[in-house]
């Protein structure tokens, strides 16, 4: 099983189970074009997008940025994180960028896909996930995977999830009711 198949299996199993209401609310704000005032800056969104597309690149299915994952992450960070959590997350993004400059010799967004993968591999292979940039990377990866698999395009086109199975037929015929024989109420 390759990485993409593993992510697809994980997403199919958890897309509807993990915080469906919060994910739906975040996605509705993204699709409405609402950008949180406490969300990520353009540069941070570009970094998140580059990381997200390294984790879930476009193949025969849409990539993470194709479905709007960076905007989803911005809504979650901007509206659901406390000021302290948001500050730590942004500091962690800066640490990821510093790791890219050290490992790859350039900002993450300017690296070739193979160099991006090498930076991600160096972060993923670290033994202490509580240190930066690992802590923020793993938090971001969780948001990317969650956002990707709860996005409408992925749920419909990739996972083939029917949120409301069947179809609505407002004028469907109803079987007639027959009056019970005996023991019924008398009308008077």
At residue 169, the pLDDT reads 62
Count of the separate structural domains present in the chain: 1
- Residue 58 belongs to a domain: yes
Is 99 part of any domain?
yes
Q: With 0.85 as the threshold, say if the pTM is over it.
A: no
Q: What is the per-residue pLDDT for 15?
A: 43
Per-residue model confidence (pLDDT) at position 158:
82
188 within some domain: no
Residue 72: name the closest of 15, 20, 144 by CA. 144
The predicted structure's pLDDT at residue 77: 93
Q: Which two tokens stand for residue 116?
A: 């991006």
**Residue 172 domain-assigned (yes or no):** no
Report the C-alpha gap between 110 and 116 in whole angstroms: 9
User: Is 29 within a domain?
Assistant: yes
Residue 169, in any domain of the structure: no
- Range(s) of the domain holding residue 8: 3-158
CA dihedral 126, 127, 130, 133 (to 10 degrees): -10
Within a domain: 163? no
Tokens describing residue 118? 């090498």
Residue 74, classed as helix, strand or coil, is: helix
- Token pair for 45: 């969104």
CB 50 within 8 A of CB 188: no
User: pLDDT tens track of the chain, all 188 residues?
Assistant: 555 555 555 554 444 444 456 777 777 777 777 778 888 999 999 999 999 999 999 999 999 999 999 999 999 999 889 999 999 999 999 999 999 999 899 999 999 999 999 999 999 999 899 999 999 999 999 999 999 998 988 888 888 876 555 665 666 666 776 666 655 555 55
Measure the CA–CA gap between 125 and 163, rounded to whole angstroms: 37
Residue 88 lies in a domain: yes
pLDDT value at position 12?
A: 45
């Amino acid at each position: 099983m390759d990485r993409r198949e593993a992510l697809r299996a994980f997403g199919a199993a958890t897309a509807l189970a993990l915080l469906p209401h919060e994910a739906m609310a975040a996605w509705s704000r993204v699709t409405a074009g609402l950008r949180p005032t406490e969300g990520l800056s353009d540069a941070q969104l570009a970094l998140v997008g580059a990381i997200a597309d390294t984790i879930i690149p476009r193949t025969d299915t849409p990539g993470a940025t194709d479905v709007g994952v960076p905007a989803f992450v911005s809504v979650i960070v901007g509206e659901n994180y406390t000021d302290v959590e948001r500050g730590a997350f942004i500091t962690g993004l800066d640490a990821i960028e510093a790791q890219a400059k050290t490992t790859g010799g350039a900002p993450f967004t300017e690296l070739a896909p193979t160099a991006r993968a090498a930076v991600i591999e160096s972060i993923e292979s670290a033994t202490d996930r509580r240190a930066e940039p690992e802590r923020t990377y793993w938090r971001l990866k969780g948001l990317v995977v969650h956002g990707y698999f709860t996005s409408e395009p992925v749920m419909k086109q990739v996972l083939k999830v029917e949120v409301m199975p069947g179809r609505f037929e407002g004028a469907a015929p109803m079987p007639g009711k027959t009056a019970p024989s005996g023991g019924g109420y008398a009308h008077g």
